[in-house]
Amino acid sequence: MKTVIYNGKAYIHRGHFEQAILISDGLIEKVGTNEEVLAFAPEECEKIDANGKTILPGINDAHLHLGFIGEFLVLADLSNARSINEVVQCGKRFMQENPEAVKYGLHGIGWNQDYFTDEKRIINRHDLDLISTEIPIVFERVCGHIVSSNTKAIEMAGITDQTPQFDGGVFEIGEDGQPNGIFNENAVYEIIKTIPSWTAEELQQLYIRAIEYAVSVGLTSVQSNDVRDNNYKEIFALLHKLYDEGKMLLRYRHQFSFLKLENFKKFLESEFKNGKYDNKVLALGPLKLFKDGSLGARTGLMRHEYLDDPGNNGVASLSDEQMDELCGLAVENGIQVVTHVIGDAAIDQTITNYERSMKNGKNLLRHGVVHCQITDLPILERIAMLDILAMVQPIFLNYDLHVVESRVGKKLASTSYAFHTLDKLNAHVAYGTDAPVESCNPFPNIYSAVVRKDLAGFPEGGFYPEECVDVEQAIDHYTIGSAYAEFQEDVKGRIQPGYYADLIILERDIFTIPVDEIKDIKVVMTMMGGKVVYQK
């Protein structure tokens, strides 16, 4: 079956557009003017009139969490709470409105103390006990690196003032000498466990909702971190089922995480070897490690103490030795490594770990740094020189531009989120959103890279505007750049003969509208492998 899309403005590469695309068996066969392509297309083929609209390669999000996007749609949403009292009210309301969902516990997500107008402090068990003392409550901070819980959850987790601290994570002790309900980094898993997990059927529904949302905003590929430690059998089974049932509307590449080396080893012996993958829709990807925490939670690992929290340098979730061991094992098995790094110390140390794992100083496995936020020029130069992938989320500026200077000072802030410098240094860059930390909608993300303002348009001239990139560059990082991150740049990320027919048609022309309006662009059609998977 062949399809022609004609009468469009298809982005081929910088400065080059074409009107029409011929698609055959899920691949792009020909691009050119309407006359050229229509003359070439068989009479009976399906014809789609693009009505002059702009066509882009499908967006490829280089790092997100697809399952959590689904969960976000059903957990108590705390992202609009502007005070501790509002968090409490939000929790109470959710319990009243969803009595079935909270039978065994209340799981909320999205609060951010920097947005609180009463006290800008982390919520604790005393706050959450106001919602309920009967069921466990865990409320994740927007970044997921801090979780607050009520007294019931702490009891269920069996944590007391006598419990030893966890490896790479902390539960706080309050003034009364008892755990105060605040958990960070690796300790968060211990408390989240008190809430029963989804049934396989519920989980599948969450993925379906997430996938449908993702294609509706223009994603045709995701590089997703859903495997965490020992849930790989469950996640693999689920994704294969969706695929077999034709519900995998986008291409999915795993980023798999392990907290324990033994679990990574077990995985290498089982699912990693045996999972059935055709590489076109479902693919195995890199080992995803977590080196540090988040800027918002002040757990990103810094070379200097936080200016607004003297004595605190952040948290190293993995030691240097652990990093070397994990990277070594990955490389031995030919596996790429990508690592969550926020602070300058985390980035610098991780690059050193990578460097030690490379053969002949070449980054052949395309190891990457995910987030890569707090940088100075020497770090950026090291990234470029060693050809380490920078997998960045420009949309993080929406929140971070309000706090980064107070956390690390103006000087370091001015060389952080340095998107243009990365381009000048010719680094390999891939864009993503880390959804659901931010929405997986790519247009606010492109807007952030291009104008460097928050979603309300602040600051007027942009935040360190010399680091703005242009629209073409942002789109390239989000398509061919992300494809490079998964060794797919020969088949994904361009509208070109031989490439997958993964493309989107936009309601408005991203190349000519005022840049401040890019964030509001809607998708009218999404096509994956020549099939229309979303239509407005």
Q: Is 434 in the site for Zn ion (CB under 5 A)?
A: yes
Query: Shortest CA distance to 372 belongs to which of 346, 335, 405, 404?
Result: 346
* Region from 34-42, 109-117, 151-159, 427-435 binding Zn ion, contact rule CB under 5 A: 427-435
Q: What are phi and psi of 514, to 5 degrees?
A: -55, 135
Query: Shortest CA distance to 285 belongs to which of 311, 297, 267?
Result: 267
Q: Which is nearer to Zn ion, 179 or 442 (CB)?
A: 442
**CB 200 → Zn ion: shortest distance, Å?**
23
**CB 435 → Zn ion: shortest distance, Å?**
9
Q: Which is nearer to Zn ion, 78 or 435 (CB)?
A: 435
* Region from 9-17, 34-42, 188-196, 432-440 binding Zn ion, contact rule CB under 5 A: 432-440
Q: Which residue has the tokens 């947005």?
A: 115
Q: Which is nearer to Zn ion, 91 or 144 (CB)?
A: 144
Q: Is 438 in the site for Zn ion (CB under 5 A)?
A: no
Q: Which residues, at least 6 apart from 120, have a Cβ–Cβ distance to it below 8 Å? A: 113, 114
Q: How far is CA 514 from CA 57, 107, 409, 464, in A?
A: 21, 40, 32, 20
Q: Which residues of 127-151 are buried (b: 16+ CB within 10 A; e: fewer)?
A: bbbebbeebbbbbbbbbbbbbbbbb
**CB 392 → Zn ion: shortest distance, Å?**
12
Measured from each CB, the residue nearest to Zn ion is 434
Q: Which is nearer to Zn ion, 400 or 405 (CB)?
A: 400
Q: Which is nearer to Zn ion, 271 or 434 (CB)?
A: 434
**CB 370 → Zn ion: shortest distance, Å?**
7
**CB 393 → Zn ion: shortest distance, Å?**
9
**Positions 370 through 399 that interact with Zn ion (CB under 5 A):** none
23 and 487 Cβ atoms separated by less than 8 Å: no
Q: Which is nearer to Zn ion, 478 or 534 (CB)?
A: 478
**What is the rounded CA–CA span in Å between residue 95 and residue 168?**
33
Query: Shortest CA distance to 369 belongs to which of 412, 338, 395, 399?
Result: 338
Q: How far is CA 461 from CA 404, 405, 453, in A?
A: 17, 17, 8
**CB 289 → Zn ion: shortest distance, Å?**
11
**CB 175 → Zn ion: shortest distance, Å?**
33
Q: Is 476 in the site for Zn ion (CB under 5 A)?
A: no
Q: Which is nearer to Zn ion, 64 or 249 (CB)?
A: 64
* Region from 264-272, 276-284, 398-406, 431-439 binding Zn ion, contact rule CB under 5 A: 431-439
**What is the rounded CA–CA span in Å between residue 149 and residue 207?**
26
**CB 109 → Zn ion: shortest distance, Å?**
14
* Region from 128-136, 429-437, 458-466, 505-513 binding Zn ion, contact rule CB under 5 A: 429-437
Q: Which is nearer to Zn ion, 434 or 486 (CB)?
A: 434
**What is the rounded CA–CA span in Å between residue 363 and residue 355?**
8
- Number of Cβ atoms within 10 Å of the Cβ of 276: 9
Structure tokens belonging to residue 65: 């969490």
Q: Which residues bind Zn ion (CB under 5 A)?
A: 434
